[in-house]
Amino acid sequence: MPLHGRIKTMMNQDQTSETQTDVPLYASFLAGIMVLGGLALIMLVCVVGFKSATQLPLVFGCALAGIVAYKTGYTWNQILDAMIRGISDALEAVLILLCIGMLIGVWIESGTVPTMISYGLQVVTPEIFLPVVFVVTTLVGIVLGSWGAAGTIGLAFIGMAPALDISLPMTAGAIVGAAYVSEIISPLVDGPNLMAAVSKTNIFSVCVRFLPLVLIVCAVAAVLYFVLGLSFAETASPAAGSSSEASGSTRLLLDALDENFALGSVTLIPLVVMLVCMFVRMPAIPAFLVAIALGMIEAIVFQGSSVGDTFVAAQVGAAPQTNIAELDTLLSTGGLAETMDTISIVILVMAFSGIVQYLHLIDNVIQRLTAHLASFAKLVGATVLSGALFNTLLPDQYPAITLSSQMYGEKFKGYGTKDEVWANIVNSSAGITSVLVPWNTCAVYMVTILGVDCLAYAPYAFFCYLYPLAVFFVGACCSKKLKWRTR
């Protein structure tokens, strides 16, 4: 066929596809249940039963959703278009992941992360280590986001924990819980911005509305971490600067860091500049790139690295040789290559989400499940539970937030609930429980960065389940007193 003929045929196909899409087809209730239940079963069998990596069951899940969509009446081109639209929704997250990978590798090469570890070992005492981890990571997360906080200050705290004889699962739990505070109250983070877009509400209204409740839950979590930390007070050594000397393991790490890196406050300049970039509301990706460039310059100037060394650190991660096995393991991380596994999961998750969302495979399920929510308390409870369920089934916080909003947004409006209020109720579960599900992309990232299994740290990520419970209690019992409604 001549070229102009092929082009004309493609244009006609596009027009036909657009016409078909204008009149959406809806899968039956049973088909929707088959898609969601099928993915959950596939995940459980492959990941839990056969110890498979997350990618393969997600491929099977996409295939199942595609088959159901095809049987519903959609063409292959429409299914492919839905997958592409779903993936495109996560492209910014993919770019941020790439930046974080480069950032971690370069900041280790430049001495930024080693300096953070060294300073922390010298000033933190075991009994207050866990609450300090929670508070500091929360503050950093508000600026850098949950993944950025875990990959920078979180990584540093993971390095300090063994030297102070602090439990790694407890430390990782404190880091994860603190990092996800930002998913509720930070205007610089994807979750609140997505909720603001879905609910058509000002981002600052979304972030500030539940701030008092967030602070109360954070205070409770900090107290719990302090209580846990008391159990390490006798067995772990005090930090330098106290009346007692540092433990042998702590001193060994401090000496190794001092011998292999040029430490000092000057190496923290990339961190400070990045914080400033975020505070002046520079977009995340340019801010990360500025911090990466500064890290490369500092690695060359202060650590004696070559330009090639900084490129290697950005590409495949740092690989210091300190002759201390645990320190070498901790600092041999970062780089673009390390993020590829997580990125592949994000792409597959969003491909599945695109089929489900844009081809209306579960719309009838949504209508059936929400038809009997006859009270505001039931609506709040269903919203909180559904967010956790979607994070388990889909499994990524972006589709969990979107689908929860689609399910319950109109219902909340029917009760006269303010948009920023129901947006927060949705986000209280869909936005932060993702990190508690082993096969969810958020948990996969945390496991990759922190090196602690999801099921090991989950019991200690107090904020991630205390906050949804608090929202349910307050929403179900106190909504009228708090004037959450417009009428």
Q: What is the pLDDT of residues 266-310, one digit of tens each?
A: 999 998 998 888 778 788 889 889 999 999 999 999 999 999 999
pLDDT, mean over the chain: 84
pLDDT band at 7 (very low <50, low <70, confident <90, very high): very low
User: Which is more confident, 350 or 457?
Assistant: 457
Which positions ≥6 away from 367 have C-beta within 8 Å? none
pLDDT digits (tens, 9 = 90+) for 311-326: 999 999 998 888 887 7
List, in sequence order, every beta strand (DSSP E) within 185-308: none
Going 429 to 432 to 438 to 440, the CA torsion angle's sign is: positive
* Residue predicted with more confidence, 9 or 171: 171
Residue 433 has pLDDT above 80, yes or no: yes
- The answer to whether 314 and 336 are in contact (CB under 8 A) is yes
- The confidence band for 244, taking pLDDT boundaries of 50, 70 and 90, is very low
Does residue 254 register a pLDDT over 80? yes
From residue 146, alpha-carbon distances to 81, 124, 184, 356 in Å are 30, 23, 10, 27
Q: Is residue 232 classed as helix, strand or coil in its secondary structure?
A: coil
Residue 484's pLDDT band (cuts 50, 70, 90): low
Six-digit token pair at 375? 């009270």
Bond before 187 cis per omega within 30 degrees: no
For residue 245, the 8-state DSSP code is P
Handedness of CA 451, 455, 461, 463 (dihedral sign): positive
Q: How far is CA 41 from the centre of its chain?
A: 24
Six-digit token pair at 450? 């922190």
Of the ranges 306-310, 386-390, 391-395, the best mean pLDDT one: 306-310
Q: Which phi and psi angles does 388 have, rounded to 5°?
A: -65, -40
pTM for this prediction: 0.75
